[in-house]
Amino acid sequence: MIDNNIEKRIQALHERLIYLKDIFAGKHEDSASLLEERLESFQQRMNAAFVFDPYTDMAALEDLFSYVERRLDNTITPMDRVRIVRHPQRICLRDILENVYDNYTEVGGQDEYSLDPSMLIARAVITRHRGKKTYQQSVMVIGQEKGHGAEYRNGGSVKPWGNAKAMHYMLVAETEGIPIHTYVFTPGSYPIEDYPGAAQQIARNLYGMAGLRVPVIAVFSEGGSGGAEAISLADRRLMLSHGYYSVISPEGAAAIEGHIRPGQRATTKLIEHCASNLHITAQDNLEFGYIDRVIQEPPLGARPWHFEFFRLLRQEVIRATDEVIISTRSLPLLRGLALKRHGSPKADLENLYIRWALSGHSKKRLVDLRQKKFLGLSTSAISDNRPWHTKMWAACVDYVTQPWNSFKYDFYRKHQRKIKVIMEEVDNEWESLKNKLWAPLGKVLQKFEVKKPENYGEQLTTLSTWNHDTRIKRWKYLSPRYKIDQAVTCPNSAEYGCMDLWGPDLFGEFAGVCSYCGYHFPMEPEWVVQNVFDDGSVREFNAEIEARNPLNFPNFSERIAKAQEKNGTRSGCKTFEARIDDIRLVVAMLMGTFRGGSVGAAEGYKFMEAANFALKKRFPFLAYVHGTAGMRIQEGTHALIQMPRCTVAVRRYIEAGGLYVVLYDTNSFAGPVASFLGCSPYQFAVRSSNIGFAGPGVIKETTGIDIPPKYHRSTQALSRGHIQGIWDRRQIRTNLKQALRTIGGRNLYYR
């Protein structure tokens, strides 16, 4: 009969062995078989009662396991990390709640009875001491729950309403004034469009978090793309040493890189290749600056029995929360001292008490610090080719114009209105007084008034003057396809019986719109630039900012160079100032023709700068999305970080009173829609657009659901409440003008 304790420990070793085999997926077979052999023989000996001192032998065996694990820990590849974080034995949020916090209550549902079991929300308590006194500190814990592989947890892939639930409780925490700890355990969001929509809800979360007035600490284990961003726009971002944080799953990247068709699978080699080239490890992201601190895990990654690790994690989240609180203090000297004390690894945080509530002023500072933190990221991933004098000049102009603009708009306009109101009232009074005085005299005068005969005939039958003959629409820009003598079939012809269109008519005069059913063929980005804005009013800026290959992704520099040559631009985002009937505005255009309109560090930077420029100038800001395929995966987290970063820029612009309008034209998907585009309160779409989080192929791949045709059409997006309206391409100018005039206004927004 084997001792119960020994049996348990054997069982534990079995599990460690399975885990080791799983995460290495066939690699290091010799080590695995060695351990297996030893374990087997130990067990056999135990069964046969051959063991003299089971406890010593057991300990020796465990040491061997630990030794092998330590040794193999040095060989871990990025893809191994992916397998680690997805392994059912990996620690889960529930383990963290049990072991890191002193007590907790789940508030976001229980087990499978939840709006979305993959999003877990709990109010938790941390107890700290100062002298004899005990303090209870509350936090809102939010994160994805993988539930050790429980099916209903959906692997931590959160549905749109799960993210909405998270946002809701973040706002609750804000009301209660307690810090938020988020734990990122997600391979990515569940890509369905049902309300509130995968992309649009993540965008709302990012926008919301950009302004949360309580400290937010995020801890990354599996940081998969947009799903991770949905809860991680935080003041401090910690990362578990064996986790990954990536713009896309390595499998997804491999499918794109290998041009894999739906139903096929990328080779393991290609997936490994992508995993290592995407630079997804904690160390990589720490170096890039997207992670503030790495929390060291035990060899081969933390599992629920690593109690020492939970103590470390507890220390680190407390430290991070304290640091955020301290950094909002207004006295710089005290702040510096406190931070230094806290930063020391020896600091006994359990016996130190820092109040986690903030004063009004500190809250403002907190938000400002968080926003600036994100705005300052990823600057090294682009190349700024502006000559030094241009940069200097821009800085000088800012220096001069900023005070003037803030005087003009913030002070003068405000008071001007008050003055005007007073003047109008005075005027009204005077008018009514005047009428009273003149009334008797007026009646007399009326009698003498002689009606002048009008020559109606002449007015009604001769040529009138007409200065603005705008009827015959002649587009300034015609698609180059208009030169090709060729018939074109409308994709709706089976449904609506459209006859073939003549290419030169379709791509010239018809502006790419089927004259039978109104189907919109995609057009070039230049079409809108030249046909929507006033003639000669477009002035580009920051054209020199160049998209690069910051991760040295294999063969990617050439592809970027090719896109640059094809489009005649340095990046996929063109930013310019323009006018529509003398309404001035700033436009950031994402070009679907530049690597699918993917957004990398350069595009993100230009977008952010455009928002800043619009803010400084007090102009409306239009994001014209000719097309975007998502964040540029070959730039890894350099691209992904643009999601929170640009959302912060947009939020700062909107909060300063700006009018931010988004217009989608062709295919607009993934990251950008799930962040700085989807957060706009005014999103419109040209009829040609498809809007969503992931394309049909990806949805099928990740969820197994067949997606009906036209699932992402603008009409569907409108029905789901993701966008505010659909425009005909030929009416963009009129509609945009109308939107600026009606939504924007002197008092609410800049005009």
Partner 1 sequence: MLNITALLESIRESPYRDNVVVAPHTGRLTFASDISLGQSVTGPTGLWKEKAGTLLAILERERNPKPITALEKGEICALHSELEGQFVQAGTAIATIRHMLTREEVEHIILQQTLHLFAAPERAKYYFIPEVDKKMHASDEPSVKVHPGMELFIMSRMKREVHLNYTGPAGIIYAVYFKHNENIDAGAPLVGICTSEQLPEIQEVIARIKTEWK
Partner 2 sequence: MDKKAQLKAEVDRLLSLPLTEHVVLVANRGEIAMRIMRACHALGIGFAAIYTASDEHSGHVRLARELGGDNCLYCVSSYHDANELMSVADNFHCTAVHPGYGFFAEDFRFARRVTKRDRPMIFIGPSWKIIRELGDKINTKRLARSLGVPTVPGSDRPIYEEVEAERIAKSLFEFQVEQGVTHPLVLVKASAGGGGMGIEEVYDPDQFRQVFRRVSNYALRQFKDEGVLIEQRVKDFNHLEVQIVSDRSGKHPVHFGTRNCSIQSSGRQKRIEVAPGFVPDTLEYNFDAAKLLTNIVDYSLAMATKVGYDNVGTWEWIVTRTGEPFLMEVNTRIQVENGVSGCIARLPDHKQVNLISEQIRLGLGEPLGYTQAEIATEGVGLEYRIIAEDPQNNFTPWVGRIDQFTWEPAPWLTLLTHVPQKESYEIPTEFDPNLALAIIWGKDLEEAKQRGLRFLDSLKLQGENAQGQELKANIGFLRDNTTNLLRF
Tell me which residues touch partner 2 (CB under 8 A).
Answer: 454, 456-457, 459-464, 466, 469, 471-472, 483, 485, 487, 499-500, 502, 504-505, 509, 728, 730-731
The answer to whether 704 contacts partner 1 (rule: CB under 8 A) is: no
Backbone angles phi, psi at 726, to 5 degrees: -120, 130
The answer to whether 263 contacts partner 1 (rule: CB under 8 A) is: no
Shortest Cβ 485–partner 1 spacing (Å): 7
Candidate segments 117-125, 315-323, 479-487, 718-726, binder of partner 1 by CB under 8 A: 479-487
Shortest Cβ 531–partner 1 spacing (Å): 26
Shortest Cβ 521–partner 2 spacing (Å): 17
Residue 728 binds what, of partner 1, partner 2, none (CB under 5 to 8 Å, by partner type)? partner 2
* 3 state DSSP class of 215: coil
> Helix H segments across 584-695?
601-617, 637-640, 642-655, 670-672
Residue 708 binds what, of partner 1, partner 2, none (CB under 5 to 8 Å, by partner type)? partner 1
Shortest Cβ 502–partner 2 spacing (Å): 5
Backbone angles phi, psi at 357, to 5 degrees: -95, 150
The answer to whether 489 contacts partner 1 (rule: CB under 8 A) is: yes
Instruction: Find out whether 85 and 148 touch, Cβ atoms under 8 Å.
Output: no
Q: Nearer Cβ to partner 2, position 427 or 505? A: 505
Residue 263 binds what, of partner 2, partner 1, none (CB under 5 to 8 Å, by partner type)? none
The answer to whether 719 contacts partner 1 (rule: CB under 8 A) is: no
User: In this structure, is the dihedral angle defined by the CA atoms of residues 20, 24, 25 and 31, taken in order, positive or negative?
Assistant: negative
Instruction: Find out whether 70 and 299 touch, Cβ atoms under 8 Å.
Output: yes
Q: Which of 488, 547, 589, 677 forms a contact with partner 1 (CB under 8 A)?
A: 488
Q: Which of 486, 552, 731, 738 forms a contact with partner 1 (CB under 8 A)?
A: 486
Q: Which of 131, 387, 536, 708 forms a contact with partner 1 (CB under 8 A)?
A: 708
Angle (nearest 5°) at CA 502 between 496 and 504: 135
What is the DSSP secondary-structure string of 323-389?
A: HHHHHT-S-HHHHHHHHHHHHSTT--GGG--------HHHHHHHHHHHHHHHHTTTGGGSEE---HH
Binding-residue pattern over the window 502 to 531 for partner 1, x denoting contact by CB under 8 A: x-----------------------------
* 3 state DSSP class of 194: coil
Q: Nearer Cβ to partner 2, position 461 or 555? A: 461
Q: What distances in angstroms separate CA 108 from CA 15, 95, 111, 114, 532, one per listed residue?
A: 31, 16, 10, 7, 47
The answer to whether 715 contacts partner 1 (rule: CB under 8 A) is: no
Q: What distances in angstroms separate CA 678 from CA 149, 205, 226, 522, 587, one per listed residue?
A: 32, 10, 12, 21, 16
Residue 36 binds what, of partner 1, partner 2, none (CB under 5 to 8 Å, by partner type)? none
Residue 731 binds what, of partner 2, partner 1, none (CB under 5 to 8 Å, by partner type)? partner 2
Residue 706 binds what, of partner 2, partner 1, none (CB under 5 to 8 Å, by partner type)? partner 1
Shortest Cβ 477–partner 1 spacing (Å): 24
Instruction: Find out whether 618 and 570 touch, Cβ atoms under 8 Å.
Output: no
Q: Which two tokens stand for residue 590?
A: 């994402």
The answer to whether 500 contacts partner 1 (rule: CB under 8 A) is: yes
The answer to whether 485 contacts partner 1 (rule: CB under 8 A) is: yes
Shortest Cβ 678–partner 2 spacing (Å): 29
Burial category of 95 from C-beta neighbours within 10 Å (exposed 0-12, middle 13-18, buried 19 and up): middle
The answer to whether 487 contacts partner 1 (rule: CB under 8 A) is: yes
Q: Are strands 293-295 and 383-384 parallel, antiparallel or unpaired?
A: unpaired
Size of the site for partner 1 (CB under 8 A): 10
Shortest Cβ 523–partner 2 spacing (Å): 18
* Spatial distance between the Cα atoms of 518 and 584, rounded to a whole number of angstroms: 30
* Spatial distance between the Cα atoms of 473 and 510, rounded to a whole number of angstroms: 10
Q: What distances in angstroms separate CA 491 from CA 497, 513, 564, one per listed residue?
A: 10, 12, 31
* 3 state DSSP class of 19: helix
Q: Nearer Cβ to partner 1, position 305 or 516? A: 516
Residue 454 binds what, of partner 2, partner 1, none (CB under 5 to 8 Å, by partner type)? partner 2
Q: What distances in angstroms separate CA 370 from CA 262, 357, 381, 432, 645, one per listed residue?
A: 40, 17, 21, 56, 10
Q: Nearer Cβ to partner 1, position 535 or 706? A: 706
Binding site for partner 1 (CB under 8 A): 485-489, 500, 502, 706, 708-709
